[in-house]
Amino acid sequence: MNNKTVTVPFVDLTLQHQPIQTQLQQAIQGVTERGDFVLGQALKEFEAAFAAASGVEYGVGVASGTDAIALGLQACHIGPGDEVILPANTFVATLIGVIRAGAKPIFVDCDPQTALIDLEAAARAVTPQTKAILPVHLYGQMVSPRQLLDFAETFKVLIFEDAAQAHLAEREGYRAGSVGSAAAFSFYPSKNLGAFGDGGMLLTRDPDVAQKMLRLRNYGAAQKYIHVEEGTNSRLDTIQAAVLHEKLPYLPQWNRDRLNAAQQYDIELAPLASSGLIPIQNHSSEGHVYHLYVIRVDDSCGVQRQQLQEQLAQVGIQTGVHYPIPCHLQPAFTHLGYQVGDFPNAEMLSKQILSLPMYPGLSHSQVQQVVSAITLILSGEHQKILCL
């Protein structure tokens, strides 16, 4: 088989867009007819709708998820001299947001079973300068809200959620974005709720945080040409907001589709645990929205992750690695002073994790195809997968 022929893509956005193509085109046309391309009607409507769907009062659309973190922390009065605790196992945007806010990032390790931040490690990292904890709801699973709230109460710190991968995720009666003082979301096209380009949003219950965020995203202006603080230009385009608003009602079903595919993966991969192939654990039951479905290729496994990934690609099954280098070991951030061995769980996961195809519309037969191919590779019968 030609190894460029994709039989199971890692992500297929056409399956969600094709059935609503007419509505999406009409939403875009509405913006072009009104001509309100910046801070327009559709943005205000989407901000209110996404905030309500997430269980909070205020939403402020910005240009990216990274800006939602950086400006959101500033809106929460986090800046120079403040320490922010975050997991080493996250996308680099989390770290960049903290640095851009002027705060000092303090990394901690993660739980190797869930890949989420280790709150016991976070407790040991608290100092008098700690002003916030930045939990990442990784892969679509929330960090325990009850444990986060206990942590915040114990150490008198602010909770700022990175929910870039957790649109409408739930755990312990909370939705992502409703636990802390504020939360950042990304609308990158491949997210559970994705735009037709970059985009992000800050959610909060605090009207003062929301008002400050509105100023920060728009040159620090309280009103036109009156700049009361040092803001920037970071606004969610009205066309992107119109697309997102049109897609939002479908998000619950798309999340259920992801959950159904994940549950099938769980069942069919279970026999391979004894061979060293172990899915990242779900501690959220049906509240996990599975932005990614991630497995660990343990050291006891008969094949290495790269070998498994390459052999799957040979039969057209695309996979990913999220993420191959922990933040504390990224070349751009050596000045932070961290070393190999500082966060062993994050470092171990970076060498073991593999993300399997996951998207709304992923079929039962496609999941079976992925698992069958993995099973044959682990059994040493690689050539047989060419017949799948």
How far is residue 255's CA from residue 243's CA, in Å, rounded to a whole number? 18
With both helix axes pointing from N to C terminus, report the angle between 41-54 and 238-247 in degrees, rounded to the nearest 10: 40
Among the listed residues 378, 317, 333, 328, the one whose alpha carbon sits nearest the alpha carbon of residue 350 = 328
Neighbour tally for 256: CB within 10 Å: 13
How far is residue 68's CA from residue 75's CA, in Å, rounded to a whole number? 10
Tokens in use for 128? 């008098």
Dihedral, CA of residue 131, residue 103, residue 179 and residue 251, to nearest 10 = 180
Q: Are 64 and 200 in contact (CB under 8 A)?
A: yes
The helix/strand/coil state of 137 is coil
Among the listed residues 192, 115, 178, the one whose alpha carbon sits nearest the alpha carbon of residue 148 = 178
Asked if the peptide bond before residue 250 counts as cis, ω within 30 degrees of 0, the response is: no
Q: Are 235 and 62 in contact (CB under 8 A)?
A: yes
Residues contacting 291, CB < 8 A, separation 6+: 139, 140, 165, 166, 167, 191, 192, 258, 358
191 in active site: yes
Tokens in use for 354? 């593999």
Among the listed residues 128, 123, 124, 87, the one whose alpha carbon sits nearest the alpha carbon of residue 105 = 87
Identified catalytic residue from 191, 224, 351, 384? 191
Alpha helices (H) along the chain: 14-17, 21-34, 41-54, 65-75, 92-100, 119-125, 145-155, 207-216, 238-247, 251-269, 305-314, 344-352, 364-378
First and final C-alpha spacing in the chain: 10
Pairing of strands 277-279, 58-62: unpaired
The helix/strand/coil state of 171 is strand
Active site residues: 191
